[in-house]
Structure 1
Amino acid sequence: MTVAIVGAAESDLGVTGRSILTLQTQAVTRALADAGLTLADVDGLATTGVARFSTTQLGEYLGLAPRWVDSTFMGGSAAEAMVARASQAIEAGQASVVVVSFASNQRSARSRSLAGVLEEHVPEAQFETPYGPLFPISYYAMAANAYLHAYGGTRAQLAEFAIAAREWALRNPAAFRHGAGPLSVADVLDAPMVSTPLTTAHCCLVTDGGGAVVLTRLDRARDLRRMPVEVLGYGERSVNTSMTAVDDLTANAGAVAAGAEAFARAGITAADVDVLEVYDSFTITAALTVEALGFCGRGEVLDFVQDGRIRPGGALPLNTSGGGLSYCHPGQLGVLLLVEAVRQLRGEAGERQVPGARTAVAHGTGGIFSAHATVVLGVDR
């Protein structure tokens, strides 16, 4: 039995003034409508972000009593991990139609609710808090400094991830920075410094928003409204809480392992990927993930992405919605990586469409390079 994504949608994005449950409901009902299904068809629900009992609260709000649920919290990698769980549940007969969703109103609520988690809850904090790191940017800044020290390269090269993301966002009317104009290297480097070497332009947005995807069996999917997008492979790793226990800040070992497992399950290599959607909480997050997934060798990514390779028209279309840097970042971007991958494979991305895309990869990163999940998607054309 093969599983497919049959519906994908966003909630309202940006500054919405809406509650989390309202945004969740928008995402779920829009994704179901996209698939040609209704709430009455749903018997599986996977979500985080509403409360400690996320599936219970959202299920009640939607009038559902699902027979299979998942509220695994893996931060920005949760949605990709939930696609794996949902696929397994469908194949095992535990559910027939599963919705994976997430939403947050963090900008309207003027909240960064994950701030301070490290300091409050992990034993490593006693060694880190005295130095006053900003959570999480100072930790990602450490990785960026370590990478530049170990392999060379420049801040100007790292800025390419922000510049390319903006180029994609200019082609996406839903992007928060759609009307902001292009970025230059100088714009990125001269933006206010937050944690050396990362300026504000190296950092993701803070927005409201969310999304949902709907999964079912491939044989049923072929009778529904949209072209089915098959789940070809998946992999995940959980490797660390903070960085105190990490031997090499540049290795991104969890992404290496999760990606290799997903690619092997799907029977593909990096050369087969037409569209790549990776978590870009910061430019360095995207850089180390591209490298970890095998699109270039260790220490090569800053040279690899130059000359427009990851921009529109380039050889490796990366974060084609504009990503967390210029499209939307509601606290967890993972589900929106999946939504964009589905749209690209169905040929529905409009001005930003990658011609003939057949294989897409979505990779979520949670915490401080802590939790990783990769999903490989494909279509027959």
Structure 2
Amino acid sequence: MPPAIPSRSRKVAAVGIALSDCGRVDGVTPFALHAQAARRALADCGLDRGVIDGVASAGLGTLAPVEVAEYLGLAPRWVDSTSVGGATWEVMAAHAAEAIAAGRANAVLLVYGSTARADIKAGRRTSNLSFGARGPLQFEAPYGHSLIAKYAMAARRHMHEYGTTRDHLFNVALACRNRANQNPAAMMYERPLTRDMYMTSRWISEPLCLFDNCLETDGALACVVVSAERARDCRTTPVYVHSVAQGLPSQHHGMVNYWNDAPLSGPAWTAARHLWKQADFGPQDVDVAQIYDAFTPLIPLSLEGYGFCGRGEGGAFTEGGALESGGRLPINTGGGGLSEAYVHGFNLINEGVKQLRGTSTAQVPDASTCLVTAGEGVPTSALLLRA
């Protein structure tokens, strides 16, 4: 077990969490989903919206927190509109914690909503993410070199270098699906996945098939972060922000560059060095992990980067039910982006809070430490949470 919690780890806590209606939610605006999640998060912790004096939001443009605050009837003195793709929410949680510790805010609402699934189905946007056509991407996007293709290349190289197999990727997809099958709020609730279904599904970008990809999702999430003092007034058990870090590899132009100082060393390796340096425990003391899973290869890569196994051992780590409940490292216990909902990883933070409260639908017994990671793109970020 890790040592007793030092006082510096008890300054800021997550106290209210919520998920809006999720899946395909037709006829609803992103703002309405924001409002639904925010109301539910405040109700969860028993705080009135009048105490919220900080708002962090992204996905609706640079003025997102201002517009969201206006829509929700809030009057914040601190806002954050940081947007770094799948790394956004761990970064925002860190910013909120820093603002509260510095006295710039007392209670911060983190909130994000999207109607991505409905927009794709209606033809208002494309799911072929290539992140615009600026910088090096302008030479790749016209040829269909999308985000999924980049991860497929990383997966193929891992297979070539270290013997990772599609069965290892299936282990990842299965662990997430099994947890979603226990979670009534998950899009894949009571929808089992079998090896035959996985192996015979259509390719999206070989070697990645349909079940290696996250879900197109309409939905919103919210999390209320407050000082430890204010947390005493909340009806929920506080979960403390213990350590936070970001990371970039030395060659960080473009998205998902795994060809830098060492083979397949993404930004997780950099973030991990800073994360564990600040913490009072190590990977061996993590009870449960919520690892960003827009695509299955991110799990083996992140397992290596955050020190749960050696370089090239991420695939083999998944064997023998290691990622399942009761395994060496239970992951994504709400279903993750692969099987609960894809909301840029925000749901991983909320699921981490549930685990350390003891209220998850796939509860790890006596869980007291949780790692939450962001996208293994550029940059990445991670949180350590403690009960």
Equivalent pair of 1:250/1:288 in contact (CA under 8 Å) = no
Q: Distance in 2 between matches of 1:285 and 1:197?
A: 14
Q: Distance in 2 between matches of 1:252 and 1:189?
A: 28
| Candidates 146, 153, 156, aligned match of 1:145 | 156
Q: Which amino acid aligns with 1:65?
A: A
Question: Deviation of residue 229 (structure 1)?
Answer: 0.4
| Percent of aligned positions that are identical | 38
Query: What is the aligned partner in structure 1 of residue 381 from structure 2?
Result: 373
Answering whether residue 316 of structure 2 is matched by residue 303 of structure 1, we say yes
Question: Deviation of residue 250 (structure 1)?
Answer: 5.3
Question: Deviation of residue 241 (structure 1)?
Answer: 4.2
Q: Deviations over 1:335-367 (max 9, x none)?
A: 2111100011001113x111100001111116x
Q: Deviations over 1:157-198 (max 9, x none)?
A: 2211001111111111111111212x2223212110111100
Equivalent pair of 1:234/1:263 in contact (CA under 8 Å) = no
Query: What is the aligned partner in structure 1 of residue 67 from structure 2?
Result: 57
Q: Distance in 1 between matches of 2:328 and 2:259?
A: 33
Q: Distance in 1 between matches of 2:94 and 2:132?
A: 31
SS in 2 for 1:376: strand
Aligned alpha-carbon RMSD (Å): 1.8
Query: What is the aligned partner in structure 2 of residue 169 from structure 1?
Result: 180
User: When the two structures are superposed, what TM-score results if normalisation uses the length of structure 2?
Assistant: 0.91
Equivalent pair of 2:258/2:265 in contact (CA under 8 Å) = no
Equivalent pair of 1:32/1:39 in contact (CA under 8 Å) = yes
| Candidates 103, 107, 113, aligned match of 1:103 | 113
Answering whether residue 325 of structure 2 is matched by residue 325 of structure 1, we say no
Q: Distance in 2 between matches of 1:295 and 1:371?
A: 20
Bigger mean CA offset, 73-82 vs 183-192: 183-192
Q: Distance in 1 between matches of 2:335 and 2:263?
A: 24
Relative to structure 1, is the Cα distance of residues 252 and 112 closer, same or farther in structure 2, using a 3 angstrom cutoff?
A: farther
Q: Which amino acid aligns with 1:357?
A: A
Q: Deviations over 1:103-157 (max 9, x none)?
A: 111112225567454452223432x246432x21100000001111111121122
SS in 1 for 2:354: helix
Equivalent pair of 2:111/2:221 in contact (CA under 8 Å) = yes
User: When the two structures are superposed, what TM-score results if normalisation uses the length of structure 1?
Assistant: 0.93
Query: What is the aligned partner in structure 1 of residue 195 from structure 2?
Result: 185
Equivalent pair of 2:147/2:255 in contact (CA under 8 Å) = no
| Candidates 262, 269, 284, aligned match of 1:271 | 284
Unaligned runs of 5+ in 1: none
| Candidates 81, 84, 90, aligned match of 2:91 | 81
Relative to structure 1, is the Cα distance of residues 144 and 50 closer, same or farther in structure 2, using a 3 angstrom cutoff?
A: same
Q: Distance in 2 between matches of 1:6 and 1:318?
A: 22
Question: Deviation of residue 238 (structure 1)?
Answer: 3.9
| Candidates 8, 13, 21, aligned match of 1:4 | 13
Q: Which amino acid aligns with 1:70?
A: D
Q: Which amino acid aligns with 2:112?
A: F
Q: Which amino acid aligns with 2:356?
A: L
Q: Which amino acid aligns with 1:154?
A: T
Q: Which amino acid aligns with 1:376?
A: L
Unaligned runs of 5+ in 2: 1-7
